[in-house]
Amino acid sequence: MTKKKTREKKKSQGSKRWEIYEISGDRIRKKNKTCPKCGDGIFMARHHDRDTCGKCSYTEFRKK
Ligand SMILES: [Zn+2]
């Protein structure tokens, strides 16, 4: 086993974008949905019952 454990806590410089990523194992999952209108990279804000894109105001209601 030559698994390197490099879990340094690096403070991302100015990019809060990483907060929406969740690293589980060696996979990176996106926590938030991406806007289908704006495309990849534009994430939607989560609300209790809907997701809203801050860029184009696209709103997608979530089913319970
Ligand atoms: Zn959008």
Tokens of 15: 């990019």
pLDDT at 55: 92
How far is the C-alpha of 11 from the C-alpha of 30, rounded, in Å?
19
How far is CA 64 from each of CA 23, 36, 52, rounded to the nearest angstrom? 26, 20, 16
Distance 54 CA to ligand 1 centre (A): 7
The residue behind tokens 């589980």 is: 24
pTM to 2 decimal places: 0.49
Residue spans per domain, the chain: 34-64
Distance 4 CA to ligand 1 centre (A): 39
pLDDT at 34: 87
pLDDT at 59: 95
**How do residues 30-53 score in pLDDT, each as one tens digit?**
567 889 999 888 888 888 899 999
Distance 32 CA to ligand 1 centre (A): 13
**How do residues 9-27 score in pLDDT, each as one tens digit?**
665 455 555 565 566 676 6
